[in-house]
Amino acid sequence: MIRKLIASVVMMSGVLAASSSAFAADDNDVNVLYAGSLVNLMEKSVGPAFEKETGLHFKGYAAGSNKIANEIKGKLRRGDVFISASPKVNASLMGEANGNHVSWYVNFAESPLLIGYNPKSRFANDFKTKKWSDVLQQDGIRLGRTDPKLDPKGAFTVELMTKAAQAYNQPDLVEKTLGAPENPAQVLPEETLVGRLQSGQLDAGFFYSTETSDLKIPSIHPAPELKIKANYTLTILNDAPNNAGAARFVNFLLSAEGRKLLAEHGVDVTKPGVNGNGQAIPPSVQAVIDAAQQ
C-alpha cells in the first residue's frame, strides 16, 4: 500500500512538473498572426531578431488579413499580436457586435501595390518594352493574385485594375485581365503567391513593394494616379494568452531596431498613428509609440 502511495505521489509530481514546464513554455511563446505579404520579413528577420533580443519564442502565422480576422471571429485561431494590411480589417474586429477582439491599433508602415513578374517568363521582355496593362491581356499569360474576400491585396488588385480601366478608357480591362473577382485560375493563398511566381508556375502577379524589393522580383510601378498601397497595422488582441510577451513584441517592432529592419525589407516606415481606444494601450507600448513619433 505504501509503495503504491509513493508511486502515485511520484507520478503526480511528474505530471505537475510537466504541466509547469508547459505553462512556462507558453509564457515564452509569442503568437503573431500577420499578413502573408510579410512572411519573408517576419520569419527571416523580425522573428529571429526579436528572439535574440528578448529570449522569447516567436511563433508566426501568415495568411490573408481578412482570412485571419475571420478565423479570430470564428474562434478558430488565437494569437497575441495581429498585423494586418488594412485598417478596415481591424475595424471588423472592434466593438461588441464584432466580438470585441480589438480595442486599438497602430498604423506603422505602408507598401505600394506593384505588378511583379518572373524574369524567366516568356513575357518578361514584353513587360520591359510594352504597357503593363497590354501585357496582362496577352493570350497564355499566367497571372496570380489573392482572394479579394480574404485579403486586402486581392481587393486592392481589383481596385487598381478598375482605376486603370477608367484612366486608360478601356471599360473591359478588368474582365480581360482578371476575369471574375474570384477567378479560380488566378486566385491563390497569399502565402503561396511569391513561391509560385519564383518557381515559374506564374508569369506575373500583384505584390506589395516589400515583397518585390525583399526578394528581388522585377516589378512595374503603375502610374502615380493609380497608386494603391497597403497600410500595415499592429495590435495586441484583447484575448491574447500572453499579454506581456505581446507587448514586448510590439515594443520591439516599433523600436528603432525594428523600424530599421522594416526599412531594410522595402517597407515604407511611417510615424505610428493610434486608432481606437488609446486608454487600452499598455504603458510600455505607448512609450515606444511616443518615442517613434518624434
Average pLDDT over residues 179-184: 95
Q: Is residue 176 over pLDDT 90?
A: yes
Average pLDDT over residues 226-236: 97
Find, among 78, 79, 88, 75, the residue nearest to 58 by Cα. Answer: 79
The domain made up of 30-111+231-292 has a fold known as D-Maltodextrin-Binding Protein; domain 2 (3.40.190)
Mean pLDDT taken over the chain: 91
Q: Which of 26-40, 50-64, 156-170, 246-260 has the lowest mean pLDDT?
A: 26-40
Which pLDDT belongs to residue 5?
A: 41
Strand-pairing partners, residue 121, are: none
The SS3 call for residue 52 is: helix
Which pLDDT belongs to residue 118?
A: 98
Find, among 250, 290, 255, the residue nearest to 269 by Cα. Answer: 255
CA-to-CA distance for 5 and 169, rounded, in angstroms? 85
C-alpha cell at 248: 514586448
CATH for 113-229?
A: 3.40.190.10
CA-to-CA distance for 179 and 163, rounded, in angstroms? 16
Assign 22 a pLDDT band (cuts: 50, 70, 90).
very low
* Residue-by-residue DSSP string for 118-141: -TTSTTHHHHHHS-HHHHTTSTT-
Assign 214 a pLDDT band (cuts: 50, 70, 90).
confident
Question: For the range 289-294, what are the long-range contacts, defined as Cβ-Cβ under 8 Å and sequence gap of 24 or more?
Answer: 289/106, 289/254, 292/254, 292/255, 292/256, 292/259
Count other Cβ atoms within 10 Å, centred on residue 30: 28
Find, among 191, 283, 272, the residue nearest to 234 by Cα. Answer: 272
| CATH 3.40.190.10 domain range(s) in the chain | 30-111+231-292, 113-229
Assign 70 a pLDDT band (cuts: 50, 70, 90).
very high
Residue type, 123: F
Which pLDDT belongs to residue 129?
A: 97
CA-to-CA distance for 286 and 281, rounded, in angstroms? 6
Q: Is residue 12 over pLDDT 50?
A: no
Average pLDDT over residues 20-35: 72
CA-to-CA distance for 244 and 20, rounded, in angstroms? 18
